[in-house]
Amino acid sequence: MTKHEIIPCERCGKRIECKANSFTRCQCNTVRLNLNEVQYISELFEGCLCADCLVDLKNEFNTLNNLH
């Protein structure tokens, strides 16, 4: 059985179980992002983010783009 690392979310600090080697089972995989959203988030953060932060950042990106 593969051990997964418990790490802090880079944005909020919440402890999350990183399953980078089993991405399809990772909590972050529950958030669907398009290419533009992924690019926006990757420009702000390099590490793992919790699903809640991914949703917040997705909404932030879409709000910013709806203003233009």
Query: What value does the CA radius of gyration of the chain take, rounded to a whole number of Å?
Result: 13
The predicted-structure confidence for 41-64, as pLDDT tens digits, reads as follows 999 999 889 999 999 999 999 999
Which residues is 16 bridged to in the sheet? Answer: 7
Mean pLDDT to the nearest integer, 3-19: 89
Cβ–Cβ under 8 Å, residues 9 and 50: yes
> Total domain count for the chain?
1
Which residues is 68 bridged to in the sheet? Answer: none
pTM of the predicted structure, to 2 decimals: 0.84
Pair of tokens at residue 45? 């953060």
Q: Which domain holds residue 38?
A: 5-66
The SS3 assignment for 38 reads helix
